[in-house]
Structure 1
């Protein structure tokens, strides 16, 4: 674990601590549980250790937090196809523990749908990463090429497979007219009729220009970056669509501004148009996706429970996002 990593109080909710879990034991048990021919008993023993580790980590133990995020990411990222059902089931059980540590929202009140959107948009505007000191330095200062490369490397880590989040959330909707919101977005992400124009392909040109490896070294990621990635996957897989809708709306609604700023940064560095194209395109087109997504959210928003879970998801996303960007900013300054 990186000793420079700090865990803000926002990421240490006060709640009951589960059974003591050993990070080493949980890792070893999970390794056994995912081997070919593992028994149901071996899987359940590993799961019990994972759940105990998760409770301990979310209650404030830093070593447990780092290890549970690492093991959860192991369950999330593509692996041996035969273990996919087991990994998804184990991850879903961890989500239930994470639900117990969801933000309390003591001052929550349900609102009419139009006022609810104003509340949501105000929250996103106030806590957008565009206002983070690292963003101010990159977009308004004079960052070095090394700093821009560092930023883009992590930008690739969280952006290259965004299409998979859309696909996961689409499956949560029973009505095709609801799911189609994400399928239309996914069609654009996949490059429509030209796969070589897919968004991951376009973004990869920028990574190649900056000599950034396209293959992500997941084990080497900081625990807070793993937490950020895990939370995105958890939200879009959650059985309650409020979690996924909040997460993707928060990402999409600021996408244009973020990508426009990055494109302007690339222009100042005289980066050619081809590797810059991904950000040029995203500087305008995501506004349509945002409005379509809000129309879907508005169908569910009259329900007070939906609003409450939506705001829990939004709050949790920004807690993790802030800690993650603080970590990146600290490391950038230490370069």
Structure 2
């Protein structure tokens, strides 16, 4: 390895360390404006390197961005949101290229979107085939559900964030109706996080998530979801949530069938039994809202960019989980 490469790595590691230290100081109550801006400059430099392909910088910036996203000291909430919004601007500069993009009539646009979602479905991923068509061990299923909890426990917060992006109440109400169901309607103990927690308890999975220990691609997956629903351009959030909701029924139905084969009782399985049918209504309501904006060419482009980024991160993330699951199985063997 030549000296230039070694120096580059040393500089990258130093920048990452500086960003971590500076951010920790900037997020203390009472931090000064110069401290905050200095930390932000360091964070943006690391984010840019990460998005340019530096794996170490990528892991570092995703960890720091997740630190801004995860609820923390209430007095630093405005600072954390502002700093995160500046990271989004850097990420916008690396939005996926769409060389074959062409705006379409709304009906044709939906066909294209649905075809893209179907083609990128997790159903055909090797980990999904192992879990839902193979003979996974109890440990494999527990591993999958642990990460499923990380992805699913606070889905309601994504709905709330995106609802705030819409000025018209009739547009925002699409997400408020969905949120009402997520919250258990008139019975908070029937909220979806509460129902899903029963399954985690059944498998002895801790409900508290250790965010720092998550792998970089899982952090990237979580960060991208939050970024999309907070983005000032609603195309990003609509694409992300439509992609998630439109495959929700199939994914949850397969998990429910897996739990049935394993003999898991009905109460812990109820979350997935319910989601195996009801999300189709939410999907159709969301598309009606998307259709209001879809005649705009810029909206369609950003919508497709959001889908492309979501699927790229999603595949890399699931590839990483699949590799880790196999390594853990080999170790136990």
Q: Report the Cα distance in structure 2 between the residues aligned to 1:315 and 1:128, rounded to whole angstroms.
A: 13
State the secondary structure of the residue aligned to 1:22: helix
Q: Report the Cα distance in structure 2 between the residues aligned to 1:321 and 1:216, rounded to whole angstroms.
A: 20
Q: Report the Cα distance in structure 2 between the residues aligned to 1:26 and 1:126, rounded to whole angstroms.
A: 39
Aligned to 2:110: 117
**1:191 alignment partner, one of 184, 187, 196:** 184
Q: Report the Cα distance in structure 1 between the residues aligned to 2:92 and 2:115, rounded to whole angstroms.
A: 25
Structure with more relative contact order (C-alpha pairs < 8 Å, separation 6 or more): 1
Query: Are 1:64 and 2:57 matched, yes or no?
Result: yes
Aligned to 1:210: 203
Aligned to 1:227: 220
The alignment's C-alpha RMSD in Å is 0.9
Aligned to 2:39: 46
Runs of 4+ in 1 over 6 A off after TM superposition: none
Aligned to 2:267: 274
Could you list the runs of 5+ residues in structure 2 that have no partner in the other structure? 1-10, 329-333
State the secondary structure of the residue aligned to 2:263: coil
Aligned to 2:327: 334
When the two structures are superposed, what TM-score results if normalisation uses the length of structure 1?
A: 0.94
**2:154 alignment partner, one of 136, 151, 161:** 161
Q: Report the Cα distance in structure 2 between the residues aligned to 1:233 and 1:147, rounded to whole angstroms.
A: 28
Higher helix share: 2
Q: Report the Cα distance in structure 1 between the residues aligned to 2:132 and 2:267, rounded to whole angstroms.
A: 20
Q: Over residues 289-322 of structure 1, what are the superposed CA-to-partner deviations in whole Å (9 max), with x where a residue is unaligned? A: 0000000000000000000000000000000000
Q: Report the Cα distance in structure 2 between the residues aligned to 1:230 and 1:131, rounded to whole angstroms.
A: 24
Could you list the runs of 5+ residues in structure 1 that have no partner in the other structure? 1-18
**1:175 alignment partner, one of 161, 168, 180:** 168
**Residue 36 of structure 1: CA displacement?**
1.9
Aligned to 2:230: 237
**Residue 129 of structure 1: CA displacement?**
1.1
Aligned to 1:104: 97
State the secondary structure of the residue aligned to 2:268: helix
Q: Over residues 75-102 of structure 1, what are the superposed CA-to-partner deviations in whole Å (9 max), with x where a residue is unaligned? A: 0000000000000000000000000000
Q: Over residues 194-242 of structure 1, what are the superposed CA-to-partner deviations in whole Å (9 max), with x where a residue is unaligned? A: 0000000000000000000000000000000000000000000000000
Aligned to 1:135: 128
Q: Report the Cα distance in structure 1 between the residues aligned to 2:47 and 2:136, rounded to whole angstroms.
A: 38
Q: Report the Cα distance in structure 1 between the residues aligned to 2:125 and 2:161, rounded to whole angstroms.
A: 29
State the secondary structure of the residue aligned to 2:100: coil
Q: Report the Cα distance in structure 2 between the residues aligned to 1:176 and 1:283, rounded to whole angstroms.
A: 29
**2:286 alignment partner, one of 282, 293, 296:** 293
State the secondary structure of the residue aligned to 1:91: helix
Q: Report the Cα distance in structure 2 between the residues aligned to 1:208 and 1:277, rounded to whole angstroms.
A: 13
Q: Report the Cα distance in structure 2 between the residues aligned to 1:332 and 1:198, rounded to whole angstroms.
A: 30
Aligned to 1:316: 309
Tell me whether 129-138 or 68-77 shows the greater mean CA deviation. Answer: 129-138
Q: Report the Cα distance in structure 2 between the residues aligned to 1:48 and 1:191, rounded to whole angstroms.
A: 42
**Residue 149 of structure 1: CA displacement?**
0.2
